[in-house]
A and B are shown apart, each in its own frame.
Chain A
Amino acid sequence: MKEPLQSRKRFLISALFVVVFLLFIPIILLYSIGYRLDNTLTLTPTGGMYVFYPESGAKVFLNGILSDQTSLFERGVFISDLAPVLYHVEVQKTGYLPWKKDIDVGERRVAEAYPFLIPAVVGTSTVPRFITLNSGTSVTNTLYSKVVELFATSTTKASVPLKNIITPTSTTLVASSTAIVRKDIEIAIEGKQIVAWWKGNKDSTPFYFCDADRLECNNVMKVADGDFLDVDFYPGRNDVILYTTKDGIYATELDQRSLPNTHKLLSGNFEFREDNQRVFIKEKNFYYELLFIASTTLTNAISI
């Protein structure tokens, strides 16, 4: 009759599994930490880069070479095994302006990138005061009323009263700007600067408030210099802002590693309001909505 394996054989099998464990665990751990064998079979530390973009079809180029592409199932791409040096990153998507950044990859560290891709064509659509129903009757456009209401106040719903804002360097109350808050980040115009504050948990401070190793973080950063008229967040983002000067409306990012990507969306002198992921502008007594339309071909950025 067949019997269970003898205890000695079972012991040998157990020992074999222990040996396999001891053999593989250092390899797997070194791999996980970021060590790789280079061409000379020397163990070398590497780094990685994580590029987050929630839509599919965005191509990620490192130093001009296509490295990866976002897909339906992956909202970002993780590029591993990178030598710890400076990389020129470019993210392209058909119909959008490319996003470019020089990013330093450290040993055993992952540099993050949150590209913002703006459609190559930004148009406007009038918000009419009246709309005509199928029956031919003309009625007041509720959207128009809402937009008028938005512009009737100097701040948006997300704004906080001025008196609540404390400058990073002192406890003096600032009297000349309005702060906008989104997901623990406040932005405001301070004289001739746009300033951003991190108001959340210190442990959750976003990387753009910190140094490359994320060891030193500030809760405040200067975003841009200039004569700014108004500032708000870009629809759906808290790391990209919209601002106006007398020349037009612009979008820029809080990520200050190398030159921030800044795009002029529209020329002109007007006010704007961001509401529920839609941007409205006011020129004299007319109201328009900004339309972000992706063109079918790649277009060069209108970077300034």
Chain B
Amino acid sequence: MSYKDSPYFHIGRATELQGRDRLIYRMLEMLPGFLSWGTLLSTIFLSYYFPVAAAIFIIAFDLYWLLKTLYLSFFLHRNWKRLKHNMTVDWRAQIATLKHEHVRHMVILPFYSEDRETIGNNILSLMRSETDLTNMIIVLASEGRRGTEALAIAKDIEAEYGKKFGHFLVTVHPEDVPGEMAGKGSNISFAAEKARVEILDVHHIPYEDVLVSAFDIDTVVYKHYFSCLTWHFLTTKNPYRASYQPVPFYNNNIWDAPALSRVVAGSGTFWQMIQQERPEKNVTFSSHTIPFKTLYDVGYWQKNMVSEDSRIYWNAFFAYDGDYKTVSLSYPVSMDANLAPTFFETLKNIYKQQRRWAWGAENVPYILFGFLKNKKVPLMKKISTTFVQLEGYWSLATNPLMIFMLGWLPLVLGGKIFNSTVLSYNLPIVTRNLMILAMAGLVVSAMVFLSFLPQVTVRTRKRDKALMLLQWIFIPVTIIIFGAIPGLDAQTRLFFGRYMGFWVTPKFHK
């Protein structure tokens, strides 16, 4: 029996299992929080009882952090060059040399409470893209729980733009379907199935020819996006065993968003750029593309969990026994940075969004449990994937706290004997110096960020431009408040089995 036919394939949480499986899955759910809290509490324990050992650990960790920063900056810089190059390539000319006319693009646009302008901007960007619109299938996926208002907007959009595309479908995801969690996953899965039945099957469009792009509703594509995507699909070896991942920029409203929001958004972009250079560590995130054949094969996105964007990768990974990858497009799509009517609301929304993303830790038990159950995944792949996943969530929740806060603990808790050692005096000095060196990575970040900013608007002032550069001094703050703490928050909830629901990031335009 294939793993995708097993009862574990679409598992969302431990409570959906029984007996020993449930116990194992529950323990795996606790693992990310256990590792993170274990590290933080161990550092406190060591600082009190074995301050010398704690100081040595912290200095070693500082060096690890410095080298990690340099290592990641190398990949960031490399992807920056690749992305800039890809944005200058004439992708239409590239695919012209290939047989490409059969490839169709299905774009699923789920929305909940977003206004017409946001949805309209998305559609307009699709129309501006240099691709054959008759080959495009637009699926505007509304939520039934939003009532007739959402449907009215969708119908209005369809009336205005529907004829421009090959196919245009409006779907209404029914509310309160048993076994489903209200959220993007259940909506786009419903929409994809509707599109299959009402468009692909009716018009005899082969599933193999359709690439499905699941976009957040604020996604704005650059003009060559679909050509670039098509080229990668047509040139990738075994293209149905792959998802296709663009780089999310948050440029739609970047000049309006406050500095903290920009830094958090920019950091997210950088992380995705770095991951693009490490394909074996890259999984689908936010707006992404998957061949319909593959999507149908794995049963669409999971409907019973929050992080459907990354889970679809893991579904396919296990369905094909580890033979699945994410192809880095190194080509951007643009989305909204967090922005709310007030500064405080913006901060609150950033925190909630980061926590939702950090809730991706719910994939850890799914992956590790899958490794136990699916014996066909190669052992080395199991080991490396386990390490990458655990290290990733552990780093997110602990590293910033250890670097910027816990590094001083041995001095506070170490007692008088430790505090009279040369080591205790050198600890803050060595930490400070290594951190200053690590901050050099910020220069790379600032330059990369500036190079991708959209054109200056009329309202932009010189001060705003200067702030775009200076804002990176907030990094130590943002990686703690909008990185480590929401990461710990999410992992702690998972640890205690307080499962999170889907939270829709509110969109606001000035």
Contacts and interface: CB of A to CB of B under 8 A. Distances in A.
Interface of A: 1-2, 4-5, 7, 10, 13-14, 17, 20-21, 24-25, 28-29, 31-34, 46-48, 50, 78, 80, 108-112, 203-205, 207, 210, 213-215, 217
Nearest to B228: A1
Interface stretch (B184-192, B201-209, B423-431): B423-431
Contacts of A203: 415-416
Interface string B411-447: 0000111001111111101100000000000000000
B78 interface: yes
B420 A110 contact: yes
Nearest to A45: B422
Given A108-B421, A108-B422, A4 B278 contact: yes
A4 B275 CA distance: 10
Name which of A32, A78, A215 has the most chain B CB atoms within 10 A of its CB: A32
B252 interface: no
Contact of B425 (A2, A5, A24, A50): A50
B425 A205 contact: no
A48 B276 CA distance: 48
A34 B426 contact: yes
A204 B416 contact: yes
A112 B277 CA distance: 51
A32 B417 contact: no
A4 B426 contact: no
A14 B388 CA distance: 14
A210 B420 CA distance: 12
Contact of A214 (B68, B79, B277, B417): B417
B328 interface: yes
Name which of A4, A29, A50, A215 has the most chain B CB atoms within 10 A of its CB: A4
Q: Which 8 A-B pairs have the closest CB atoms?
A: A34-B422, A32-B426, A203-B415, A4-B277, A2-B82, A17-B67, A33-B423, A108-B422
Contacts of A214: 416-417, 420
B500 interface: no
B343 to A, nearest CB: 32
A50 B94 CA distance: 67
Nearest to A209: B416
Interface residues of B, number: 41
Contacts, number: 98
A113 to B, nearest CB: 12
A212 B262 CA distance: 53
Contacts of B86: 1-2
A31 B328 CA distance: 43
A21 B420 contact: no
Interface of B: 55-56, 59-60, 63-64, 67-68, 70-71, 74, 78-79, 81-82, 85-86, 89, 94, 231, 235, 276-280, 328, 330, 415-417, 420-427, 429-430
B426 A2 contact: no
Contact of A207 (B56, B330, B420, B421): B420
Given A5-B78, A31-B426, A14 B416 contact: no
18 contacts: A1-B235, A2-B81, A4-B277, A21-B64, A25-B63, A31-B426, A32-B56, A32-B423, A34-B426, A48-B425, A50-B425, A78-B425, A80-B426, A109-B420, A109-B421, A110-B422, A111-B420, A210-B416
A4 B63 contact: no
B63 A24 contact: yes
Contacts of A10: 277-278
A135 to B, nearest CB: 54
Contact of A5 (B55, B68, B277, B420): B277
A28 B59 contact: yes
A80 B67 contact: no
Given A13-B71, A213-B417, 18 more contacts: A1-B89, A4-B276, A4-B278, A10-B278, A13-B74, A17-B70, A21-B63, A24-B63, A32-B423, A33-B426, A34-B422, A48-B422, A80-B422, A109-B422, A203-B415, A205-B416, A207-B420, A213-B420
Nearest to B58: A32
A2 B80 CA distance: 12
A109 B330 CA distance: 53
B277 A207 contact: no
A203 B416 CA distance: 6
Contact of A112 (B55, B71, B420): B420
B60 A110 contact: no
B60 A34 contact: no
Contacts of A205: 416
Contacts of B59: 28-29, 32
Contacts of B70: 17
A47 B416 contact: no
B12 to A, nearest CB: 32
Given A28-B63, A28-B430, A110 B416 contact: no
B85 A34 contact: no
Contact of B60 (A2, A25, A31): A25
Nearest to A32: B426
A31 B74 CA distance: 28
B279 to A, nearest CB: 6
B196 to A, nearest CB: 32
A47 B422 CA distance: 6
Contacts of B280: 7
B60 to A, nearest CB: 6
B253 to A, nearest CB: 30
A78 B79 CA distance: 44
B409 to A, nearest CB: 15
A48 B423 CA distance: 10
A55 B78 CA distance: 49
B247 to A, nearest CB: 13
Nearest to B278: A10
A110 B278 contact: no
A111 to B, nearest CB: 8
A20 B420 CA distance: 31
Contact of B416 (A1, A32, A33, A207): A207
A33 B59 CA distance: 11
B54 to A, nearest CB: 13
Contact of B279 (A4, A13, A112, A213): A4
A203 B425 CA distance: 18
Contacts of A24: 63
B71 A110 contact: no
Contacts of B81: 2
A109 B422 CA distance: 5
A50 B411 CA distance: 15
Nearest to B71: A17
Contact of A32 (B68, B276, B278, B430): B430
Nearest to B232: A1
